[in-house]
């Protein structure tokens, strides 16, 4: 019983801290409590990851007492601030109304479909190939390496992608700090929790945006899609990329629709956490920072949106600092890059372009996805008049720009044989953007329908 309790207590601390933080920011504003919880859970995990990273920066090794103490201190301080703010604003500490019951049944459905997923993860404790050869290997280096933890950045470890940021490994190290050993239940729980937060945020953000409870079908569809479930259970960082990307976009849309500074701030925080997940996610975060600022400003009087934009960009800049510090002071750089535009030995040619686009098409219609991308494409065509509407413009702008950057990188970097490289990586890239594409599609199709 004690071991089980210690397995989940770090996640409870992070979720409670993050939820209290978000609720404090909305103390005198109308907000959706379940969405606050789903956003707060991700923020809490991300901040705990950064707090663990700070231990290595300050002590040049893992300091378990520092990590545990700092996270508990953040929870206590946030609790005090929240209670104080509630009293000053004459708000109840625990806010609940019968109107909240209307959201209870969608939450129960998501939980019901998540429980078998969580249980199944216990039969896949070591995760997929890149879990034990990259992400969990890094976490074990960090946890067991004491002052030799930087060995993970040795260029000789190029097969473990030492240039990738450390948000996911740091979350697992944080969990292991409570157990005192690198138990596989922690990465398994991290993957399950991020998947729950991801599907929950997608569902409830769509319910809020469209006023349609048809959005409830999103979670069961994703959590019964075998390929999606496999990738979620694999303990890869891509599930974190998917969550923080979706959260960034959702908060941006809320910020634009309501000219809401708090959502702009939360979006910037999510962008910062996104940047610390993977190298391509850092590119996505920088792209979202640029496009998000333009999205909030576009066709709006500057005086009306000034502070919303400042909150977003300020949070983005601060949130990007850990990723910048990692890239500058720790990352050995990408050891698997050859510029095909300059290389005579491995030049980038027209055949490479043909292979890339042919593979894109074959992957999107692959039976692995059970027709998901075909259905999404058909729905986007059906709602073509609304997919580029003002409130949705951030999503197609990001997807098209991001796809262009990814395609250019596949073309320019000729280190790997391109068909093999696409086969082992492209499905993870599109897996991470599936929730955001579903948000785009569902919002465009159902935003005028109400129950």
Domain boundaries along the sequence of the chain: 2-95+109-335
Other residues' Cβ atoms within 10 Å of the Cβ of residue 151:
11
- Structure confidence at residue 100 (pLDDT): 67
pLDDT tens, residue by residue, 324-357: 999 999 999 999 999 999 999 999 999 999 999 9
Residue 255 class from Cβ within 10 Å (0-12 exposed, 13-18 middle, 19+ buried)? buried
- What average pLDDT does range 195-208 have in this prediction? 97
- What average pLDDT does range 381-395 have in this prediction? 93
Q: Is 146 left (phi over 0), alpha (psi -120 to 50) or beta?
A: left
Neighbouring residues of 303: CB distance < 8 A, sequence distance ≥ 6: none
Structure letter (DSSP) for residue 344: S
Other residues' Cβ atoms within 10 Å of the Cβ of residue 409:
13
Q: What Å distances lie between residue 175 and 10, 168, 200, 265, CA to CA?
A: 6, 11, 23, 27
pLDDT tens, residue by residue, 212-243: 889 999 999 999 999 999 999 999 999 999 99
The model's pTM is: 0.96
Higher pLDDT among residues 213 and 81, named by residue: 81
Structure letter (DSSP) for residue 413: B
Q: Is it the case that residue 99 has pLDDT exceeding 70?
A: no
pLDDT tens, residue by residue, 131-182: 989 999 999 999 999 999 999 999 888 889 999 999 999 999 999 999 999 9
């Amino acid at each position: 019983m004690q071991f089980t309790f210690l397995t989940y207590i770090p996640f409870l601390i992070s979720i409670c801290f993050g939820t209290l933080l978000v609720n404090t920011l909305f103390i005198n504003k109308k907000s959706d409590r379940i969405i606050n919880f789903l956003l707060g859970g991700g923020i809490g995990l991300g901040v705990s990851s950064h707090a663990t990273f700070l231990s290595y920066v300050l002590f040049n090794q893992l300091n378990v007492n520092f990590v545990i103490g700092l996270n508990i201190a953040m929870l206590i301080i946030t609790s005090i601030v929240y209670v104080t703010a509630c009293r000053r604003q004459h708000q109840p500490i625990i806010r609940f109304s019968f109107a909240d019951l209307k959201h209870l049944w969608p939450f129960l459905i998501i939980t019901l479909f998540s429980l078998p997923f969580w249980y199944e993860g216990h039969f896949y404790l070591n995760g997929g190939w890149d879990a034990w050869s990259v992400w969990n290997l890094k976490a074990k280096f960090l946890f067991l390496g004491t002052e030799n933890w930087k060995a993970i950045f040795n260029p000789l470890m190029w097969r473990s992608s030492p240039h990738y940021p450390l948000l996911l490994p740091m979350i697992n190290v944080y969990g292991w700090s409570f157990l005192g050993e690198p138990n596989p239940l922690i990465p398994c729980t991290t993957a399950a929790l991020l998947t729950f937060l991801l599907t929950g945020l997608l569902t409830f953000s769509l319910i809020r945006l469209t006023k349609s409870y048809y959005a409830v079908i999103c979670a069961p569809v994703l959590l019964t899609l075998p390929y999606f479930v496999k990738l979620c259970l694999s303990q890869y960082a891509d599930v974190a990329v998917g969550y923080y990307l979706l959260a960034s976009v959702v908060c941006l849309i809320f910020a634009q629709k309501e000219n809401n500074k708090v959502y702009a701030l939360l979006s910037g925080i999510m962008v910062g956490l996104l940047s610390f997940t993977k190298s391509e996610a850092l590119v996505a975060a920088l792209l979202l920072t640029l496009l998000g600022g333009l999205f909030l400003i576009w066709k709006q009087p500057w005086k009306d949106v000034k502070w919303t934009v400042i909150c977003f960009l300020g949070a983005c800049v601060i949130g990007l600092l850990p990723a910048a510090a990692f890239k500058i002071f720790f990352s050995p750089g990408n050891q698997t890059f050859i510029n095909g535009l300059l290389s005579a030995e491995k030049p980038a040619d027209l055949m490479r372009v043909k292979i890339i686009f042919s593979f894109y098409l074959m992957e999107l219609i692959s039976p692995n996805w059970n027709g998901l991308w075909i259905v999404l494409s058909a729905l986007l065509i059906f709602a073509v008049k609304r997919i580029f509407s003002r409130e949705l413009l951030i999503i197609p702008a990001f997807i098209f720009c991001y796809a262009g950057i990814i395609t250019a990188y596949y073309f320019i970097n000729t280190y790997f044989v391109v068909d093999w490289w696409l086969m082992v990586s492209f499905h993870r890239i599109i897996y991470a953007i599936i929730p955001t594409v579903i948000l785009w599609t569902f919002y465009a199709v159902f935003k005028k329908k109400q129950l």
